[in-house]
Amino acid sequence: MKEINRTTDQDLNQHEKTNLLEYTGDNQNSILGKDNINYSVVSPSSQQHKTTEIPQSPPQSPGQRLLYVAASPARYIKKQIRPGGIKSSIFSLIILCLGAGTLGMPYVFYKNGIVFGIVMLLVGTCLSMYTGWLVVICCHRLNASRYEDIALATYGKKASILTSICMLALGKIILYQRAYQQFKELLPYTLTKLVGPDHTLPDIISNTFLGETFWAILFSFGLVFPVSLARTLSALRFSSFFGFMISIYIVVAIVFLCLFSREITPDLGHSFKTSISNFDINGFGIFNSLPIVIFAYMYQTNIPMIYVELEKKDLKHMWKVMKIGTAGATTAYLFAGVFGYTAFADYPDVKDKMELQNVLKNYPNNPANFISLFGILIVVLFATPLTILPCKDTIEELFLKPGQKLNNKQNIIWTFILVTVSFFISLAIPNIGDAMTILGATTNSGIGFLLPIIYYLKLEKKAPRWASHKIVAYFVFVFICCSSVIELSMFAYKKATGNS
């Protein structure tokens, strides 16, 4: 029996080493517990998620499937996006990417041209896929369910606490502020367009301090607080699905208005010619666009939650989630960026329109645009709880005993505290554009792109220093660091000279 067990363990280790991005050389200890990695550190919550077998329904003909859907669409949707399912996980990943970030993509293509804009988007896709997959590898080997679990197992308690502070104080709070700023800016604008230029909004709902305070209270306590009480990612699967559908509508609307509205694009052929012939590539354009691309794919910190809640928690199914989710987000960004820029490429004031970094503000009043404006508000709202959720994991790490989880009362209290702190920050910082640029080049780059590489290299400590998979990690690490330094330098130069 011992011989059988040893044989089975060897087979499993050999199988694990063949997975993507894992070292496949002669070093037999690279994934075993012989490299000063604390593999015994396991998040207690991760042990509660077991692989489950879903009963398979008998095959149905196309007609039977159509009748099944028509009889109860809600039942069909509920079945398709069940907790921990592949589809619900994909929706969660996509909604983490899409949102108001979609509206800034035309600016990326305006600054870099269609060709190089696509290149930048693909670079962002590859970097996010790579670093996100490193997080999955770490979660898989360490049976971790949080960023802090990986930091604790690889570098110890101090590293775990430091990671928690970065994620709580700088990472997720600033993402919350970004969502609030978008909500505060878009809602009065949408209402103003709705009532028309002949009417003035009351101060309490207009773009005044009183109006901003009102929208901050409504957004924080009336909307975000109740939807953020969910404690698991699967509890947000329906809102993720709804947000995904709205995001798809917005992208389709951008494409439709460009292709078929002659009021917006009088000469479609010439607009395409102008946008495609734009090759004005320069350092300012690249590094002004880089924060948008980085924020567009900032999903790495949510990867552990998605992975640990999968019905079939293995690398094969998680790779499918990441591959489809990231490809879906990239496709949406591509269509929104290309057609959102092309629609206004021939306009004399195209520079002013693109630098709004919100393409919906450029369209005239029409039903499609009104629906898109209100829709993006809903997308921002549904995406915000996904930034609050990891903060609660951080709270557990910092303030609770090991293995202890927030109970219902504590969950309500801490959710209220997180929302309240964000509310006062939103009032104290009316415009966080500069702060987002700085944090996009430092904290968010560090949390989303650098930490996964650091964790992974620690796991591969016993592998040869210049093994191919480690060379890739070194290259990406240096690229992100250099990009962040250049981005900060460009930002400082712009502030010093006033050059836009």
- How far is residue 426's CA from residue 416's CA, in Å, rounded to a whole number? 15
**What DSSP designation does 377 have?**
H
Mean of all residue pLDDT scores within the chain: 78
* pLDDT on residue 10: 47
* pLDDT on residue 429: 64
Distance from the Cα of residue 415 to its chain's centroid: 21
Instruction: Output the CA angle 378-125-115, nearest 5 degrees.
Output: 100
* pLDDT on residue 240: 76
Longest dimension (CA), the chain: 85
Q: Which amino acid is at 319?
A: W
* pLDDT on residue 387: 76
* pLDDT on residue 496: 79
CB atoms within 10 A of CB 228: 24
Phi-psi region of 312 (alpha: psi -120 to 50; beta: other; left: phi over 0): beta
How long is the chain? 500
- How far is residue 107's CA from residue 288's CA, in Å, rounded to a whole number? 9
Q: Which amino acid is at 308?
A: V
Distance from the Cα of residue 283 to its chain's centroid: 26
* pLDDT on residue 138: 94
pLDDT tens per residue across span 123-158: 989 999 999 999 999 999 998 888 888 998 999 888
Q: Which amino acid is at 402?
A: P
CB atoms within 10 A of CB 210: 12
**What DSSP designation does 312 have?**
S
Count Cβ atoms within 10 A of the Cβ of residue 61 and give its class: 0-12 exposed, 13-18 middle, 19 or more buried: exposed
CB within 8 A of 49, min separation 6: which ones? 84, 145, 308, 309, 310, 313
CB within 8 A of 423, min separation 6: which ones? 216, 217, 220, 221
Distance from the Cα of residue 345 to its chain's centroid: 29
Q: Pick from 455, 468, 447, 466: which is nearest to 22 by CA?
A: 468
Q: Pick from 134, 85, 129: which is nearest to 313 by CA?
A: 85
Q: What is each CA distance from 80 to 62, 75, 238, 244, in whole angstroms?
A: 16, 9, 11, 14
Domains and CATH numbers, the chain: 79-497 (1.20.1740.10)
pLDDT tens per residue across span 172-228: 566 666 677 777 777 888 888 788 777 788 888 887 778 878 887 888 888 889 988
For the whole model, what pTM was predicted?
0.78
Q: Pick from 380, 119, 83, 422: which is nearest to 231 by CA?
A: 83
- How far is residue 475's CA from residue 454's CA, in Å, rounded to a whole number? 12
Number of H helices, E strands in the chain: 22, 0
Instruction: Please identify every stretch of the chain with a pLDDT value under 50, giving residue numbers as ranges.
Output: 1-35, 39-54, 68-74, 76
* pLDDT on residue 365: 81
CB atoms within 10 A of CB 112: 24
CB atoms within 10 A of CB 457: 18
Count Cβ atoms within 10 A of the Cβ of residue 207 and give its class: 0-12 exposed, 13-18 middle, 19 or more buried: middle
CB within 8 A of 244, min separation 6: which ones? 91, 94, 95, 98
Q: Taking the CA atoms of the chain, what radius of gyration do you get in angstroms?
A: 24
- Residue written as token pair 């878009």: 186
* pLDDT on residue 295: 77
